[in-house]
Structure 1
Amino acid sequence: MSKTNPGNYFEDFSIGQVIRHATPRTITQGDVSLYTALYGSRFAVQSSDAFAHGIGYERAPIDDLLVFHVVFGKTVPDISLNAVANLGYAGCRFLLPVFPGDSVTATSEVIGLKENSNGMTGVVYVRSQGVNQHGETVLEYVRWVMVRKKDPETPTGLDAIPALPTALQPDSLGDAVPVLDLGGFDTDLSGSPFKWGDYEIGERIDHVDGMTVEEAEHQMATRLFQNTAKVHFNQFTEGKGRFGRRLIYGGHVISLARALSFNGLSNAFHVAAINGGRHVAPLFAGDTVFAWSEVIDKAELPAREDVGALRLRLFATKDHPCDTFPGKGEDGYDSSVILDLDLWVLLPR
């Protein structure tokens, strides 16, 4: 009996299957520093213990997307080791803050399976959770991923797509954020005077800056998250594949776009939820990423006068500045678009 893990193929999954993932991960200040080095994120709450403590946190929480990537990375060996591509997300909620020294484990439940018409692959839908050392759920989300079949010649007949929410309601979005002391929210230090009330539905923000992705850094990011998907790190196998080179992990694009969004949304200190998202096209080393956002909704939160929520549609492009706001039109996506992400963020009021 083989003692190595070849990864699961589409036929190895069944609806209702629950997978407990290896390996527990204690997130340290070193992880935070490396994450900053990779993406350059500058949000003050996650950058400074003093700033975070001054508004009501015990210390600077770990960046929400670093938590997401760590949990995601736990799931890869069981869910997407044999993936062709990660396709999308829905119903992602950040439920509790995570601090340096906290340990995170992950579990997933298979909630849908659909074989593709080509017979070569199928789409696997999973609901994953990240849990801290106290047994508290800090993050949950649904994703769907295209996985290779073990036997392309034998149809499975699987065609079960789960019902997924189009957007999360804002009434529980503030649960992961303590009641803030807004007297301590220094907008000089946070980088912008613009708070929740200064943004309008329909407003578009070009985040201006671009960031070129280097081969070494996206490989380092993949390893930081313990993401073992072959499409991201194994040139020996991927050199023989469709693109002839490694794909950059989609979460790398999300973190780049989020970091770039600081220029225009620097007080959007907390990603409360990801309603949905799509990796529209692949990204490769040498491409330059730009980003822009549209405010598609805003909401007050029940019993909270300190923070409000903005629902954003965050687009990332490659090799295309965003002053013309390239996105999705009636004829489909602009050819430069690589990410279309629908998320709720919190800002001080």
Structure 2
Amino acid sequence: MAKTSAGRFFEDYRIGQVIDHAVPRTLSGGERALYHALYPARHALQSSDEFARACGLPAAPLDDLIAFHTVFGKSVPDISINAVANLGYAEGRFLRPVMPGDTLRATSEVIGLKQNSNGRSGVVYVHTRGMDQHDRCVLEYCRWVMVRKGNPDAPAPATVIPELAAAVTPDALVIPEGLDFSDYDVTQAGEPHRWGDYSTGEIIDHVDGVTVEEAEHMMATRLWQNTSKVHFDASLRPDGRRLIYGGHVISLARALSFNGLANAQMIVAINAGAHANPCFAGDTVHAWSEVLDRADTPAPGVGALRLRLAATRGHAPAELRDADGKYLPDVLLDLDYWALIPT
């Protein structure tokens, strides 16, 4: 009996299938230190226990994307080990802050399947939930990924494409218990700009860039225990290049957004997201944001901004798509999310 596994292929998935992912992970300050070493992340709420306590939290939570990457990584061996590409996200909600010492595990349900016309791959849609040691859901999201077929002659499943909301509505945003920005210190946070200083349609160029290095992206991907072959095995592509994990680009862009959005302290929802084009080592990532919407919250001094975060290869124009609606070749990421900011 074989003791190793090549992982699931497209024909191995069924609608309604629930997969409990292996290897729960206890997070610590080590993940925070490595995250801040890999990305230029410096939002005050996740950097300082004292700042977080002044905002009503018991201590500084881990960066929201640490929780996202950890849960995502749990799902990779079962969902995207044989992926061609991770395509997009929807209906993501961060339901409670993750603190050092929390243990996360993940489970996914297959909610959609569609075989591609070439018959060699298909798109798998899943709803993934991250749970803590108390069985509380800390985050959830839907994603869809293109997966190879192991047997090209395997029959195509019935096509099921789930109906996913275009955005998380403001009333569905979960504000962390106790969060209070009434006495928010903009000097310690790094910028004076509050909720009322942003207007819908405003474009913010985040100015700085980061060149992706081969060793760093592989270290980051291993940190999240993401085992997807395309990030490590250069023989899988005809050009012999490793794909950069899309989450690595998300974290780079989010960190770069500090310059102009230093007070957008917490991500509370991911409305939509697309990895528009592959990123490779040597690419220099730049970012800009567009303010899509603003919303009140019931928490004292806390408002919400809906932001479109774009990451591009080099300095790219504000237009992301061509006349036919196709992403321009230097667009790497198009992410729509809600963040909490002081009013």
Residue matched to 1:270: 266
Displacement after TM superposition at 1:172 (Å): 3.0
Give yes or no for contact 2:114–2:160 (8 Å, CA) kept in 1.
Answer: yes
Give yes or no for contact 1:119–1:155 (8 Å, CA) kept in 2.
Answer: no
Residue matched to 2:341: 347
Distance 2:233 2:45 in 1: 36
Distance 2:322 2:308 in 1: 14
Residue matched to 1:220: 219
Provide runs of 4+ in structure 1 moved above 6 Å: none
Residue matched to 1:55: 55
| Unaligned 5+ runs, structure 1 | none
Aligned with 1:84: secondary structure?
strand
Give yes or no for contact 2:321–2:327 (8 Å, CA) kept in 1.
Answer: yes
Residue matched to 2:178: 178
Distance 1:70 1:157 in 2: 30
| Equivalent residue runs for 1:1-349 within 5 Å | 1-176=1-176, 178-183=178-183, 185-235=184-234, 237-238=235-236, 241-301=237-297, 303-318=298-313, 320-322=314-316, 324-331=317-324, 332-349=326-343
Distance 2:199 2:145 in 1: 35
Give yes or no for contact 2:181–2:302 (8 Å, CA) kept in 1.
Answer: no
Give yes or no for contact 1:231–1:247 (8 Å, CA) kept in 2.
Answer: yes
Aligned with 2:337: secondary structure?
strand
Distance 2:145 2:79 in 1: 8
- Mean CA deviation greater in 327-336 or 58-67: 327-336
Give yes or no for contact 1:326–1:337 (8 Å, CA) kept in 2.
Answer: no
Distance 1:11 1:243 in 2: 27
Distance 1:24 1:329 in 2: 43
Give yes or no for contact 1:222–1:233 (8 Å, CA) kept in 2.
Answer: no
Give yes or no for contact 2:267–2:337 (8 Å, CA) kept in 1.
Answer: yes
Displacement after TM superposition at 1:242 (Å): 4.0
Give yes or no for contact 1:221–1:252 (8 Å, CA) kept in 2.
Answer: yes
| Unaligned 5+ runs, structure 2 | none
Cα RMSD of the aligned pairs, angstroms, is 1.2
Give yes or no for contact 2:27–2:103 (8 Å, CA) kept in 1.
Answer: yes
Distance 1:305 1:104 in 2: 29
Displacement after TM superposition at 1:312 (Å): 0.8
Distance 2:196 2:238 in 1: 47
**Cα 1:66/1:167, change in 2 over 3 Å:** same
Structure 1 residues 285-315: Cα deviation after superposition (integer angstroms, max 9, x where no partner): 01100000000111112x3342111111110
Aligned with 1:333: secondary structure?
coil
Aligned with 1:15: secondary structure?
coil
User: What's the TM-score once normalised by structure 2's chain length?
Assistant: 0.97
Give yes or no for contact 1:326–1:336 (8 Å, CA) kept in 2.
Answer: no
Give yes or no for contact 2:231–2:242 (8 Å, CA) kept in 1.
Answer: yes
**Cα 1:126/1:155, change in 2 over 3 Å:** same
Count, aligned residues: 342
Percent of residue pairs identical: 59
**Cα 1:177/1:295, change in 2 over 3 Å:** farther
Structure 1 residues 217-252: Cα deviation after superposition (integer angstroms, max 9, x where no partner): 0000010000000000122x32xx244211000000
Structure 1 residues 84-135: Cα deviation after superposition (integer angstroms, max 9, x where no partner): 0000000000000010010001000000110000000010000000000011
Give yes or no for contact 1:274–1:344 (8 Å, CA) kept in 2.
Answer: yes
Distance 1:176 1:94 in 2: 9
**Cα 1:76/1:207, change in 2 over 3 Å:** same
Structure 1 residues 57-86: Cα deviation after superposition (integer angstroms, max 9, x where no partner): 110000001100000000000011000000
**Cα 1:214/1:311, change in 2 over 3 Å:** same
Displacement after TM superposition at 1:152 (Å): 1.1
Structure 1 counterpart of 2:194, one-letter code? K
Give yes or no for contact 1:127–1:140 (8 Å, CA) kept in 2.
Answer: yes
Give yes or no for contact 1:17–1:110 (8 Å, CA) kept in 2.
Answer: yes
Structure 1 residues 174-201: Cα deviation after superposition (integer angstroms, max 9, x where no partner): 4335331521x21111011001111000
User: What's the TM-score once normalised by structure 1's chain length?
Assistant: 0.95
Give yes or no for contact 2:96–2:174 (8 Å, CA) kept in 1.
Answer: no
Aligned with 1:34: secondary structure?
helix
